[in-house]
Amino acid sequence: MVKKKRSQPRPSTPPLSPATLLKLFKEVKRPMSRAEVIRQLKLKKKDKAAVKDMLKELAQKGKLVRIRRGYGLAEAMHCITGRLEIQRQGFGFVVPEDSRRKDIFVNQRDLNDAWHGDRVVVSVVGEPKAGRSAEGRIIRILERGRKVLPAKVIKRMSGGDWLCRPSDPRLNFGIIAALKDASVKLEPGDIVLCAPGERIDPTMWEGQITQRLGVETDVSVQEALVKSNHNIRTRFPSGSMGQAESLPPEPSDKDLHSRRDLTAKPFVTIDGATARDFDDAVLVERLKRGYRLWVAIADVAHYVAEGSPLDREALERGNSYYFPRSVEPMFPERLSNGLCSLNPDVPRLTMVVKMDTDETGRTVETEIFPAVIRSHARLTYSLVNDAVIEKQDEARRKIAPDLLPMLELAEELARKINALRSKRGSLDFDLPEPEIFFDVHGETSDIRPKQRNFAHQLIEEFMIAANEAVAHFLIERDLPCLFRIHPPADEEKLKNLFRLLSRTDKSVVMPKEITPKKLQMLVASMQGTDKEYIVNRMLLRSMKQAKYSPDNEGHFGLASEEYAHFTSPIRRYADLVVHRLVKSALQQGEGTPAPIPGRKKLLNVANHISSRERVAMDAEREILKRVTVLFMHGKVGETFNGVISHITDFGFYVELKEVMAEGLIRLSTMDDDYYTYWPQREMLVGERTGRAFSLGQAVEVVLEEASIERLELNFSLKSVVAAAMDYKDLI
């Protein structure tokens, strides 16, 4: 009997998936057609359609790039996926999805129909040079950043369609749009939402008007426009709303289980007069050799489970969005203004950070735990300032007598904590923020600096102390954390500042190492001098943007080695993540603790919420510009006093004193001389007359134009009031 040879088992074909295809492209190391992919994987005809769909999916994700005869690996072809940010001047930058990569510059001629906010594939065509970004060309639009565009109605066309122009000045084209609902009445000047269709020619698209927002001069219409421009959600999905509505109006007995009862302790909230969501409550007690600071933060994580509809929507939003007349909160009002808000005289669930300090205000012992509190008063910054700082009798009578000694103790501790923070080099820029005021008709009546006092500082000091204590708590236990990091300032810009100042002030010497402490000393030395404005502005311009990261890189501005956001979980998703990490830490060794996320998951969350924070900042800047331009529109021809706030090679910006607004004086409007820009000295100097314009210089200007289409204020120079520096000393 002859034994048959046992046949060798055939190697199993890996399951067909996009990951399999991507792995194949990496192994083959060259572009391939669809037919080659099928041959390489030894697939059958029935898999042809599936391969086609997967290749399209990988191209849509930016992993592969479609070329003439097939597909190529994006990274191998020097192609990068990211979001396009177009500047007012017409060029743009692609912000890569891989946060380790630097932004890529895209010339206006290489945008290839991509719009601001689009997700694109950019081909890198030029290597980065000293101080400059790499250069690229948009080769594919993966996803439009906006499905609808706010637009201004220009006129009705002969065929009944409407000629519109996008309200975003970075979109330089027109739209010929038909009305989706013929019953809607339109007038030239109205603001509408347009869904763009096909491109007609380089300057014109077709489209459909889906909604009329209203007249251009209405601030509420401008807010709706900005929300649409930045894809800010204005409605909560039914799933998250349903979850919010199912929550009880008050904490139940079950909720109070295993929590410390601190309802008898006189916690108070201190916020702005118009605030409706109260994240934090504070209390200060005297110890024999120091103070005890209690910071109670709303325990949002107790009600919002990770992965739930409320959580998914909050993550998508990233944070709350604040506008002059409205708010788009991270959570529905049922939570943000109700169950999770530390309203007075009702029990609320909190996470408490208890910090014992020495006599100087330095924290020597920290404890974090879940508790239930009852706020004893809802106080405002202005009331606390008048009663505690200014000692005004009328204001003191508005606060319960038993709370006044506690608030005075809180001021005492806050000043000591502030002194410690200042000693280590924490930077505080005293630059005013604009506040918009409205009359009874809802129209803008004024834009002036937001009033700040030590009551604001008191709360800030306590929140910074709590945030640092929580970061230290997680680091000490070798547990992950979502840090708030702030990279060091731009070294070249700081050196330029020191060089500029040292030309006129021999006491200013360039330090060997530029630390926050050295910068703080510089700011202090210039306080009250004619150079104070210059120093504050140039320092601010040298600062990089803070962001979130699972890696602790420190916070340069605060001169803090360990910092996280913990104190605002109602309005920032980062804080909610840190609350969950703290809860996981507290549950270690107690039954089944909540799973601790890995670095990759935290990195993905950090990148997303950092980008949503940038969206919130951009939206806030845009609505401020829009309201300012509308407010100034009726003041064309009027004269204003101001200071030069920024200098470029095409002119200089002037910040007004009478109203918080900024506009441009173009060199093209100045006919007395030809001016040259000296970037190292932050100056414009006349070639014939030697007349100079420098940062911080006081000038008198005339408002020539307030353009809502370009979001610009344009001035002409009336006279020079005073120079910030003698330019002869700078030559």
pLDDT tens digit string along 37-48?
A: 888 888 887 888
Residue in this structure with the two tokens 């391939």, named with its chain if needed: 32
Cα distance between residue 217 and residue 418, in whole Å? 44
**In this predicted model, what pLDDT tens digit does every residue of 457-503 receive, in sequence order?**
999 999 999 999 999 999 999 999 999 999 999 998 998 888 888 87
CATH class of 636-730: mainly beta
Cα distance between residue 411 and residue 457, in whole Å? 9
Strand, coil or helix: what is 508? coil
Residues of 186-221 as b/e, b for ≥16 C-beta within 10 angstroms? eeeebbbbbbbeeeeeeeebebbbbbbbeebebbeb
The DSSP symbol for 241 reads H
Cα distance between residue 525 and residue 521, in whole Å? 6
Cα distance between residue 308 and residue 303, in whole Å? 10
Stretch among 22-26, 579-583, 598-602 having the lowest mean pLDDT: 22-26
Sketch the domain layout of the chain as residue ranges.
Answer: 18-73, 78-143, 149-216, 238-485+549-621, 491-543, 636-730
Give residue 589's pLDDT band: very low, low, confident or very high (50, 70, 90): low
Stretch among 343-357, 455-469, 535-549, 709-723 having the lowest mean pLDDT: 709-723
- When mean pLDDT is compared over 12-21, 98-107, 535-544, 608-617, the highest value belongs to 608-617
Strand, coil or helix: what is 722? strand
For domain 149-216, which architecture applies?
A: Beta Barrel (2.40)
Decide if 269 contacts 455 (C-beta within 8 A): no
Domains 18-73 and 149-216 are alike in CATH topology: no
The CATH fold of domain 18-73: Arc Repressor Mutant, subunit A (1.10.10)
The DSSP symbol for 166 reads E
A 10 A CB-CB count for 152 gives 19
User: What's the pLDDT at 130?
Assistant: 59
Residue in this structure with the two tokens 């829009």, named with its chain if needed: 626
Residue in this structure with the two tokens 């001035």, named with its chain if needed: 715
User: What's the pLDDT at 10?
Assistant: 46
**In this predicted model, what pLDDT tens digit does every residue of 657-673 receive, in sequence order?**
989 999 999 999 998 89
**C-alpha torsion angle, residues 585, 589, 595, 598 (rounded to 10):** 60
Give the tokens for residue 675. Answer: 């001016």
Amino acid identity of 647?
A: I
HEC profile for 27-62? HHCCCECHHHHHHHCCCCHHHHHHHHHHHHHHHHCC
Give residue 133's pLDDT band: very low, low, confident or very high (50, 70, 90): confident
User: Considering only CA atoms, which of 544, 550, 545 is closest in space to residue 606?
Assistant: 550
Dihedral (CA of 151, 155, 159, 160) sign: positive
**In this predicted model, what pLDDT tens digit does every residue of 175-221 receive, in sequence order?**
999 999 989 999 999 999 999 999 998 889 999 999 999 999 999 99
User: What's the pLDDT at 723?
Assistant: 59
Q: Which CATH superfamily is domain 78-143 in?
A: Nucleic acid-binding proteins (2.40.50.140)
Q: Region 691-718: what's the mean pLDDT?
A: 94
Cα distance between residue 106 and residue 114, in whole Å? 11
Decide if 360 contacts 420 (C-beta within 8 A): yes
User: What's the pLDDT at 370?
Assistant: 97
User: What's the pLDDT at 14?
Assistant: 60
The CB-based long-range contact list for 615-622 (8 Å cut-off, 24+ gap) reads: 615/230, 615/231, 615/232, 615/318, 616/318, 616/319, 616/320, 616/321, 616/322, 618/230, 619/226, 619/227, 619/229, 619/230, 619/232, 619/321, 619/323, 620/321, 620/322, 620/323, 622/226, 622/229, 622/230, 622/711
Residues of 468-504 as b/e, b for ≥16 C-beta within 10 angstroms? bbbbbbbbeeeebbbbbbbbbbeeeebebbbebbeee
∠ CA 246-249-251, nearest 5°, is 105
Distances (CA, A) of 273 to 265, 269, 270, 356: 24, 12, 9, 30
Output the average pLDDT for the chain: 91
User: What's the pLDDT at 593?
Assistant: 65
Amino acid identity of 266?
A: P
Cα distance between residue 397 and residue 400, in whole Å? 7
Strands, E assignment, 114-241: 119-126, 134-143, 149-156, 162-166, 174-179, 190-201, 204-215
A 10 A CB-CB count for 229 gives 24
Overall size of the chain counted in residues: 731
DSSP per-residue string spanning 335-372: IIIIITS--BTSEEEEEEEEEEE-TTS-EEEEEEEEEE
User: What's the pLDDT at 113?
Assistant: 87
**In this predicted model, what pLDDT tens digit does every residue of 385-401 receive, in sequence order?**
999 999 999 999 999 99
The rounded percent of the chain whose pLDDT value lies above 90 is 66
User: What's the pLDDT at 106?
Assistant: 93
Give the tokens for residue 504. Answer: 């006129």
User: What's the pLDDT at 422?
Assistant: 93
The rounded percent of the chain whose pLDDT value lies above 70 is 95
Would the pLDDT of 1 be above 60? Answer: no
Burial of residue 448, with CB atoms counted within 10 A of its CB: 0-12 exposed, 13-18 middle, 19 or more buried: middle
**In this predicted model, what pLDDT tens digit does every residue of 318-332 receive, in sequence order?**
999 999 999 999 999
Cα distance between residue 432 and residue 507, in whole Å? 28
Would the pLDDT of 572 be above 60? Answer: yes
User: What's the pLDDT at 13?
Assistant: 54
Cα distance between residue 337 and residue 109, in whole Å? 49
